[in-house]
Amino acid sequence: MEQAAAVAEKDRRTVVERLYETLSGWLLDGRFAPGQQLPTELRLAQTFKVSRPALREALKLLEQDGLIRSERGKGRFVAPMASLKVERPITCFESVTQMVARFGYQPRSHVLSVAEIVPEPSVAKALRLEPDARVIRLERLRLHQKRVIVYCVDHVRRDAVPARIYDVDWRGSLLELLRGFGRAPVMSSAAAAAVMLPDEVASRYELADFGPAFLISETCFDAQGLPVLFAADYHRGDSFTFNFART
């Protein structure tokens, strides 16, 4: 029963994500003008042949991204943000796997190490852990063809993965993996900085040509607001361009 419920939830999230991508594409392509009222929930649900709860979730995501706004008793309207063409918004919450694919790369993951450890104080603080709690530390490279484009270090709460670490396939999206365990991250608090790859990392993995990196460090939270993942992702500087819109 639990497995069936997990599958149903994953299927629902897939519908919501596809619907969100379609609607956001319509908004950013100018199919609806800023200030224009969106069709009713009923009409949109019929158009896309989806349930109204799934539609509401997608609309909520659009509202959180500032692409639409709601007026009580009147409906939903296209926000001015929708007229801005942002190549890759740094405020977009998504997995590294999704982000790399959106840049046109064909990502492949290489797991460097995975271990259950006592976290460093900064990680324990970010994940709000008790003194005796442990985490799973995952170190990976993301490659396009044979070129390393992202170096990732992730710390996952041990209680978020109810399985032996060596029974888990760590090559895919961590967001999808945690979703399967019922602890899907839905938002994050992040910081960004321009840095060089740490010397010991560049030396150990023969990444001397990696060059300047764009480091995004983020704490990811589940739907209950609990931190489940602390990630540090070093994006190769000559392979990515991030933009942001200010409102």
Q: Is residue 245 part of a domain?
A: no
**124 and 213 assigned to the same domain:** yes
**21 and 49 assigned to the same domain:** yes
**41 and 112 assigned to the same domain:** no
Beta bridge partners of residue 227, listed in sequence order: 221
**122 and 209 assigned to the same domain:** yes
Closest CA to 192 of 148, 235, 132: 235
Q: What is the pLDDT of residues 149-188, one digit of tens each?
A: 999 999 999 999 999 999 999 998 888 899 899 998 888 8
Q: What is the pLDDT of residues 66-93, one digit of tens each?
A: 788 888 888 999 887 666 554 445 555 6
Residue that is last in its domain, among 26, 53, 83? 83
Q: Into how many domains does the chain fold?
A: 2
Q: What is the CATH number of the domain that holds 28?
A: 1.10.10.10
**110 and 204 assigned to the same domain:** yes
The phi and psi torsions of 194 (rounded to 5 degrees) equal -90, 120
Range(s) of the domain holding residue 11: 2-83
**67 and 151 assigned to the same domain:** no
Pairwise CA distance, residues 134 & 27, whole Å: 44
Q: What is the CATH number of the domain that holds 229?
A: 3.40.1410.10
**128 and 226 assigned to the same domain:** yes
Closest CA to 234 of 180, 187, 198: 198
**60 and 143 assigned to the same domain:** no
Q: Is residue 90 part of a domain?
A: no
**113 and 200 assigned to the same domain:** yes
Residue that is last in its domain, among 53, 83, 113? 83
Q: Is residue 244 part of a domain?
A: no
Residues found in the chain: 247
pTM above 0.85, yes or no: no
The answer to whether 192 and 90 have CB atoms below 8 angstroms apart is yes
Q: Is residue 243 part of a domain?
A: no
- Which is more confident, 156 or 224? 156
Residue that is last in its domain, among 33, 54, 83? 83
What is the average per-residue pLDDT within 15-34?
Answer: 80
The answer to whether 26 and 82 have CB atoms below 8 angstroms apart is no
**144 and 23 assigned to the same domain:** no
**190 and 217 assigned to the same domain:** yes
Please identify which residue in the block is written with the tokens 């023969």: 206
**104 and 131 assigned to the same domain:** yes
Pairwise CA distance, residues 5 & 215, whole Å: 36
Q: Is residue 206 part of a domain?
A: yes
Q: Is residue 11 part of a domain?
A: yes
The answer to whether 65 and 21 have CB atoms below 8 angstroms apart is no
Residue 5 has pLDDT above 60, yes or no: no
pLDDT band at 2 (very low <50, low <70, confident <90, very high): very low
